Structure 1
Amino acid sequence: MLGFVVQRAFQAFVVMVVMSMIVFVGVYAVGNPVDIVIPPDATQAMRAEAIHRLGLDLPLWQQYGVFVWRLLHGDFGRSFVYNMPVLDLIGGRLPATLELVLISILFATGVGVSLGVYAGVRPSGLVAKSIMGLSILGFSVPSFWVGLILILTFAVSLGWLPAGGRGETVEVFGVPWSFLTLDGLGHIVLPALNLALFKMAMMIRLARAGTREAMLSDTVKFARAAGISEGTILRRHVLKLISIPIITVFGLELGSTVAFAVVTETIFSWPGIGKLIIDSIGVLDRPVMVAYLVLTALLFVMINFTVDLVFAAIDPRVRSGKTRT
């Protein structure tokens, strides 16, 4: 097991090194932030001083070296626009994104798996067919269109829920959370629902396919022959058999939801890191862009690493390399 952990840790390290190079070169090859950060009426001396202060006068390989050195000391640099440490800037927006993502992914998993299992147990029923139709709709409709429809329906036409913002928050250990207040819950419903629909459709189809396969397995046949009730079979056998793919998708979708919550946060003016990166791209705030992309890559790598360890603990074949992870 120790050899397996070391191998996966080394692979994760190599991936992060390569990703940091790709991100750094890609971001620094796009545009010139000097044209945005420095006023048009600035003198040549002021312009040269700003370029030197931002470190943009160094060769690209030297800039990357400075970035890596700072990164090893936990410093992502300072924002060109906000003139504050990038980690502080992202840290101030991170709770809003985590709150939105966790609520949406837990809702999508809970509802999606439940509906998928039901559709897998009774595939011929009208309800099951309606559930599968809903999943197809969730895959087909773009999230920005769904977000606009939700705003027009529940905020503009009915006036039941607010169209944007985070609402009232409560600080717990110095971190603001909106789901702990009634006003905050009202603000989080629409963006969380919009973010959850695609994930829920995926969970429905995954759980249905796994349930259909599990119901035909020898384990379930023997359990029925032993007189075990259908409810017990579902809880003890079917859910256990479909748990590994669901855990995998849950982990990967958690990372992708954090990374790609940009559209939802922009539509609903949710003050998270997704909206921050959109604003930073507009003004070419390179340190923020690089930090966001590197941290996102780190999140995916850590989630995959954790999933690998969970698989290794569940299935000894993974540790021995006899099955693909």
Structure 2
Amino acid sequence: MNSRMKGLADAGVSIWLDDLSRSRLQSGNLQGLIDDKSVTGVTTNPTIFAAALTGGDQYHADILALPKGTGVPTAIKQLWAKDVQDACDLFKGIYDASNGYDGRVSIEVAPGLAYDTQATIDEAQELYDLVDRENVLIKIPATIEGLPAITETLGRGISVNVTLIFSEDRYRAVMDAYLAGLEQADAAGKDLSKIHSVASFFISRVDTEIDKRLDAIGTDEAKALKGKAAIANGQVALAAFEEVFSSERFAKLEAKGANKQRPLWASTGTKDPSYSDTLYVSELVAKGVVNTMPEKTLLAYADHGEIGTPMEGTGAQGRKVLDDIAAVGVDLADVFKVLEDEGVQKFIASWDSELVTAVEKAIASADN
């Protein structure tokens, strides 16, 4: 067991891998990361699955086995669900040993549904039924239209990974949607202890967008704030989490077995090569959080990562940094809107230009 990764886990961080592919499953690579690097879960998204599907011929046999006339959207869901199902089985021991806290694998609703509440609800249920594993998390984006879908899905007893969160305001709305979902589930007689959720707060993209704007402002004061926004945003998010989940509203649900919706740090690979390649791991350590890392970042931390200052109690510090960034002229509300819109569009582009094209070609080849 790698001592650096074990130290991170011992500090309270659940280490999840932000990648999944059939080759990773079949080669034993994922099992090796579980055994050697303290990995206890997996996240994936349309871009990741597109890379897996186009990266080799491991899916050819399953495509050949699809019934004649299977449409592309159905084929994508079935192929993706199979990988997620196999990964869920691989993590079943961790899931059982942690009472559902870890051992989780995510699958995402089609990104084109991000602004359609009812279609998101329907597909969340379909994916849950298709994977048919208790340790699956259904990923739903934190768009305005996604919020009621999150509540309804949780109310049905389905565990959810809320994705594409960038701002404190939207994060608070996500936590409210979670609590409302638990209340619905409780009213329906569901076992609240079986319902889990994570709220995926995106990290590196915040620095990328804000650094660009600070450079455009160009003052020494602005440039001195580069590389600080993402960590500060995480600090503010953790403070909001601590507030909401120490509330009387949650206490009533917790007494019935409810779990906290844990913060998950996503997009934790650094984009700027001048920043440490472990920045968004070392500086985002707190008890009870998840950090889902690309393999490159995970291996970098395993090699030379060090735990920074724990995040607990740093909310005011983070808020001051964000206030300072706003004071030099960065419109944070616009930043967060741009990042959400871009996040949805990037996933739609991966789905349309890579996933759909790859499956269409594979089905055509199989038919011939």
Structure of higher RCO (CA pairs closer than 8 Å, 6+ residues apart) = 1
Which of the five TM-score ranges fits, normalised by the shorter chain?
A: under 0.3
Larger radius of gyration: 1
| TM score, norm. by length of structure 2 | 0.22
Q: Greater strand share, 1 or 2?
A: 2
| TM score, norm. by length of structure 1 | 0.24
